[in-house]
Structure 1
């Protein structure tokens, strides 16, 4: 990955030194890090111009619905996991009172009390 650090006066140099230190901690080389000062003629290379990249903007707009759906899915999974934890706690409590609760299917299903909440949710979605 190549990165460019730009700023005024000696701020790019200090930023490059900090990044170099971080990369050394990660046992990486910093050969692809370059720093330039804004006092250079940045207009010539096009980096001083501001504008919106239409492709990047389109990609951002298109990715918003899928990101929102992912957040909703995670929130739903968290709430279902809490309910599964409560359900398993009740089943474990009942099993100490001599009650046996199993899955209705006759395959070699594990005992419900041995499952984690995530395993219970995954089994529920599989059926």
Structure 2
């Protein structure tokens, strides 16, 4: 199974995984890495390495990080740059994580990367208010 590593600034990675597990239950082969104030890229690289050793990464590793160009991304980039079985996706959000966790048993790493990208984009919606519709009635249907 593809291992998933969620890396973010602060404890966001831990909390978003807890939220995903509220919906999907406890997940195997998933870990989190937090970037704390005062830490550098080297500390993040070491955290990623230690987590990779604990996970079953035989089928690959998908890093899901918060910001392109941020420290969690940069540290993951150092590890993935020369690895064919490691990928990074930025902009991690709950719908993206849920799609990845639900798809990783039957998807290749490249397919999982595409699923993550599409679900992240597709989950962005706006609530359109329409004056003619009674919203409470619509929500109760």
TM-score (norm 2): 0.29
TM-score (norm 1): 0.31
Highest RCO, 1 vs 2 (Cα 8 Å, sep ≥ 6): 2
Whose strand proportion is higher, 1 or 2? 2
The higher radius of gyration belongs to 1
Whose helix proportion is higher, 1 or 2? 1
